[in-house]
Chains A and B, each alone.
Chain A
């Protein structure tokens, strides 16, 4: 029956290996995902008791009690460290346990700020008897350390908590570690976004790339142009993100050290914009008259740029991050070609019949708008491919091709001195049978020909979950733990994490942790978690 079982005949080794590791107690520091850069742990273990467990600020720490990011994090991580703790616990058991204190120190008290492209996420942590010391330059680094600590704690068969003596020095390999969610092809309730942010923090992702609008719908409720969502959303009341929804997402992300990078993709992928903003899109022509359909944004009208300036002014004030994603991909020229006014504009501008020049003209204007707003533009690779003359501080986003072709693209872009984010190998909406996480894990982002200087221009990578076939019903199990495989590639040292078979039991263990934390992360293969997912 199960044709798969032929595969099983070859697999039991993994399984046996996993069982053995679990029995020997995998609950050493190897249980941390993504793997820290340097980690020394011993078998000496210390018992922990929720009644006698404290977070505190070091005396030298720039941040002290009242630091919103850390105070909130202490609350969160207490429950994550002691998942079955309830207030009744203390009544049942009089505690004479020795206290254990986690002392957190940061160099800068950036408690009310937002994480940004330069934020240090480095931390050092030492766990001794009765005490753990966590030191970081920023609160964002301290958050990463708290996540690591929560993964170091384990329970024995009787439910008692332990942590082993451990020393960790850790920092991310790449500064930009993103997840893209697409809220246009399907609307994702805010709750689903928040849950994803939680899970992102567990895998140390730090950028939520919010592909908020696209052809199918425009759920962003603009205060300047409210008609965009009232006409362009799937439903103007129930399928929108209000300003307060957006603020909630941003602040929830901030608390977890996650940047929110909004994408307002143009000039293509804008069908839904046209419904609430007349004259924005190019009318397509058929046989000399308008056909009634619309194409990309109309680049020939001054009103277009006035609208875009106003919209991006709003977006740049709503979203505090210094990046704005401008899209710029997959522009279909056929409608522009059909439109006599666009053709006349081409003549006037001296573009001849080269529509990529028109496209480049448009993108340049948009990039200038965001530059004037002091924002860094990030654009899909298409913009570089058709227009090499873009501002040097623009970040390019690679989404196409096989490893060979994206490595070539990486070479070319970094040679041109541009910064790059790599997404091509992590189009995680594409599903297939079996353990495709292995493909995401074995990506080598810097394996292209180029100088050391060039390689430094690769600022990170991004996992993309496009929304054609994904909504709140299946997002979480499709995203996790597959995205976690990419997370380790982007955070950890590549040499230490080059063996995918060694990663397998660690990732299995980590996915059970996710399930325990209420994230419905799907299984990697046969097996079980001590606590299975309790939903449906």
Chain B
């Protein structure tokens, strides 16, 4: 049994107390507060054994194990050591230097990190196939973190930092613990939308940092959309010059993008960019004439534009060059191609499109035209040697997809029927429908996200194996730098545990206790994660 005393004090102080809230019916009773036997671990590891034997951390160091295949030249690990040392002991604190006494019998002097496979993947990028498993044994005289690859080691470091607690006098301790851990799902993503509101780089980086604390591993960057085109393309600089909110202050330069990708890599996070077409492209049209379909009002162009024009060769020439650039800028194996919510009214109004439909024999079925476009786009992207992800409509409309396509399910709130259909057709899929975090409501909606079971649909075991994960989506209509971080965290943490931990981790009270402590840890690390309910953190948010 692992009992972290720090939290006993913290949690007992939590009051009940419902304020004057006449209009609100609270669906579930508020969870009763008690410290969890799992302390503040989040997401909960797959296997965990611990005792109440506590070790003091003295002259503590994080070092490479002798036999590790990653050494001092491994940037990912060296950076992570420093990061987690600072999280545990505070930056600039010379922990243990003034202690002359030798370490005693109940001391822990270090954590050895041991990458066990020959290729540590230190200089690579994480992928959907990356091994993220690790084993952590906290026993004397030093703790050992074993992982086949650096990606598992990163998660293990986070877990270790979550085991460390502070006594009344500020001394750090950790209890004897053995952990074997690996993610339940391979794809654990967060979608941020930088088109409806521009997000300064600093905000993106802070959220990557927080994603790592929650063992998320995919940043789905919904980088452009109708409202603005902040991506500065080297090949087509006019796209952001004309299509962004402001061509200098509201764009992501190639250097910005590089910085995001490297920052994410150092935390074991993939960056999957989304360039959504043929709908959601109003902002593209400003810098790329003739890309969008001119809408007609009666016999004349109305001056408005619709989706990408699928009948012009120039459209496909443009896409070929554009996605060639994207495939070199973003190292991830996948590109998200969107394909959702195509409005046919503009296509219908345009006589040239009509003629094309007739010539192709599509009749009045505009979804055939949409499929025609997507098909050509997929062929283009395939030549760049990338896999692709698409929103579910593309599958629903019967477009021919490569077998490794990832279908992104977003429609229908909690319903998982679509998951059954997609996997029955043999495609891999990820789930977002129940995790639209931009929809806010009063009180503890994290519980709703937590209670989702992604495999809760009718299908064979083989089908279920095709569900590789999910994503929490924070669409940007009502979100920008001012409110993004507290709106996302710790609500997304609930999704994080669902995607990482074992299926049977469903105790909502225990989750409440651990998540409360985990959110205070995020606050302590400088992330303004909002509270779950009346309570306090030992160290409140300071960044006001």
The answer to the question of B32 belonging to the interface, with a C-beta cut-off of 8 Å to chain A, is no
- A401 nearest in chain B by CB position: B22
**How many residues of B sit at the interface, in one of the four size bands?**
35 or more
- B480 nearest in chain A by CB position: A523
Name the A residues within 8 Å of B439 (CB-CB): 433
Contact pattern, A 471-484, Cβ under 8 Å of B = 1, otherwise 0 = 11110111000000
CA distance A215 to B250 in the complex (A): 46
Q: Are the CB atoms of A472 and B541 closer together than 8 Å? A: yes
The answer to the question of B343 belonging to the interface, with a C-beta cut-off of 8 Å to chain A, is yes
Give the residues from 475 to 533 in chain A that come closer than 8 angstroms, CB to CB, to chain B: 476-478, 515, 520-528, 530-533
Using known A-B contacts A1-B340, A533-B480, determine if residue A527 contacts B197 with beta carbons closer than 8 Å. Answer: yes
Using known A-B contacts A3-B410, A466-B20, determine if residue A534 contacts B436 with beta carbons closer than 8 Å. Answer: no
Q: Are the CB atoms of B21 and A433 closer together than 8 Å? A: no
Name the A residues within 8 Å of B250 (CB-CB): 528, 532
Name the B residues within 8 Å of A182 (CB-CB): 19
- B432 nearest in chain A by CB position: A1
Q: Are the CB atoms of A467 and B20 closer together than 8 Å? A: no
- A525 nearest in chain B by CB position: B477
Q: Contact check: which of A185, A195, A536 meets B19 at CB < 8 Å?
A: A185
Q: Contact check: which of B200, B533, B535 meets A534 at CB < 8 Å?
A: B200
- B436 nearest in chain A by CB position: A3
Q: Are the CB atoms of B485 and A329 closer together than 8 Å? A: no
CA distance A6 to B246 in the complex (A): 26
Q: Are the CB atoms of A471 and B480 closer together than 8 Å? A: no
- B14 nearest in chain A by CB position: A216
Q: Are the CB atoms of A528 and B202 closer together than 8 Å? A: no
Binds B, one of A104-112, A186-194, A313-321, A336-344: A186-194
The answer to the question of A121 belonging to the interface, with a C-beta cut-off of 8 Å to chain B, is no
Determine how close the nearest CB of chain B comes to the CB of A362; give it in whole angstroms.
Answer: 19
The answer to the question of B332 belonging to the interface, with a C-beta cut-off of 8 Å to chain A, is no
Q: Are the CB atoms of B482 and A520 closer together than 8 Å? A: yes
Name the B residues within 8 Å of A3 (CB-CB): 410-411, 436
Give the residues from 273 to 300 in chain A that come closer than 8 angstroms, CB to CB, to chain B: none
The answer to the question of B476 belonging to the interface, with a C-beta cut-off of 8 Å to chain A, is yes
Binds A, one of B153-161, B503-511, B523-531: B523-531
The answer to the question of B118 belonging to the interface, with a C-beta cut-off of 8 Å to chain A, is no
The answer to the question of B254 belonging to the interface, with a C-beta cut-off of 8 Å to chain A, is no
CA distance A91 to B155 in the complex (A): 53
Q: Are the CB atoms of A1 and B341 closer together than 8 Å? A: yes
Give the residues from 1 to 55 in chain B that come closer than 8 angstroms, CB to CB, to chain A: 13-24
The answer to the question of A432 belonging to the interface, with a C-beta cut-off of 8 Å to chain B, is yes
Q: Are the CB atoms of B540 and A432 closer together than 8 Å? A: no
Q: Are the CB atoms of A472 and B21 closer together than 8 Å? A: no
The answer to the question of B193 belonging to the interface, with a C-beta cut-off of 8 Å to chain A, is yes
The answer to the question of A5 belonging to the interface, with a C-beta cut-off of 8 Å to chain B, is yes
Q: Are the CB atoms of B531 and A470 closer together than 8 Å? A: yes
Q: Are the CB atoms of A525 and B478 closer together than 8 Å? A: yes
Q: Contact check: which of B19, B226, B444, B486 meets A473 at CB < 8 Å?
A: B486
Using known A-B contacts A468-B533, A469-B533, determine if residue A216 contacts B197 with beta carbons closer than 8 Å. Answer: no
CA distance A6 to B475 in the complex (A): 13
The answer to the question of A325 belonging to the interface, with a C-beta cut-off of 8 Å to chain B, is no
Determine how close the nearest CB of chain B comes to the CB of A270; give it in whole angstroms.
Answer: 10
Determine how close the nearest CB of chain A comes to the CB of B189; give it in whole angstroms.
Answer: 13
Q: Are the CB atoms of A400 and B438 closer together than 8 Å? A: no
The answer to the question of A203 belonging to the interface, with a C-beta cut-off of 8 Å to chain B, is no
Contact pattern, B 402-414, Cβ under 8 Å of A = 1, otherwise 0 = 0000001011000
**How many residues of A sit at the interface, in one of the four size bands?**
35 or more
Q: Are the CB atoms of B475 and A468 closer together than 8 Å? A: no
Name the B residues within 8 Å of A101 (CB-CB): none
Contact pattern, B 189-214, Cβ under 8 Å of A = 1, otherwise 0 = 00001001110101100100000000
The answer to the question of A230 belonging to the interface, with a C-beta cut-off of 8 Å to chain B, is no
Q: Contact check: which of A185, A235, A531 meets B17 at CB < 8 Å?
A: A185
Give the residues from 214 to 233 in chain A that come closer than 8 angstroms, CB to CB, to chain B: 214-217
Name the B residues within 8 Å of A470 (CB-CB): 530-531
Name the A residues within 8 Å of B479 (CB-CB): 522-523
Name the A residues within 8 Å of B196 (CB-CB): 526
CA distance A187 to B531 in the complex (A): 11
Q: Contact check: which of B16, B481, B530 meets A532 at CB < 8 Å?
A: B481
Determine how close the nearest CB of chain A comes to the CB of B286; give it in whole angstroms.
Answer: 12
Determine how close the nearest CB of chain A comes to the CB of B490; give it in whole angstroms.
Answer: 10
Determine how close the nearest CB of chain A comes to the CB of B176; give it in whole angstroms.
Answer: 30
Give the residue among A1, A469, A473 with the most B Cβ atoms within 10 A: A1
Determine how close the nearest CB of chain A comes to the CB of B533; give it in whole angstroms.
Answer: 6
Q: Are the CB atoms of B202 and A427 closer together than 8 Å? A: no
Name the B residues within 8 Å of A380 (CB-CB): 20
Q: Are the CB atoms of B15 and A535 closer together than 8 Å? A: no
The answer to the question of A399 belonging to the interface, with a C-beta cut-off of 8 Å to chain B, is yes
Determine how close the nearest CB of chain B comes to the CB of A434; give it in whole angstroms.
Answer: 7
Using known A-B contacts A1-B473, A430-B23, determine if residue A477 contacts B482 with beta carbons closer than 8 Å. Answer: yes
Using known A-B contacts A470-B531, A473-B528, determine if residue A189 contacts B544 with beta carbons closer than 8 Å. Answer: yes
Give the residue among A429, A434, A472 with the most B Cβ atoms within 10 A: A472
Determine how close the nearest CB of chain A comes to the CB of B415; give it in whole angstroms.
Answer: 13
Q: Are the CB atoms of A431 and B440 closer together than 8 Å? A: yes
Q: Are the CB atoms of A234 and B536 closer together than 8 Å? A: yes
Query: Knowing that A469-B444, A528-B480 are A-B contacts, what are 16 other residue pairs whose CB atoms are under 8 Å apart, sorted by A's residue number?
Result: A1-B276, A1-B432, A2-B225, A234-B13, A427-B20, A430-B442, A431-B441, A431-B442, A469-B530, A473-B529, A520-B482, A523-B482, A528-B228, A533-B482, A534-B200, A536-B203
> Top 10 A-B pairs ranked by shortest CB distance?
A216-B15, A215-B17, A477-B483, A473-B528, A474-B486, A185-B534, A520-B482, A234-B536, A528-B245, A522-B483
List 16 A-B residue pairs with CB atoms under 8 Å apart, sorted by A's residue number: A1-B340, A4-B438, A5-B341, A186-B534, A189-B540, A191-B544, A216-B15, A216-B17, A269-B17, A271-B17, A468-B534, A471-B530, A474-B483, A478-B483, A515-B482, A523-B478
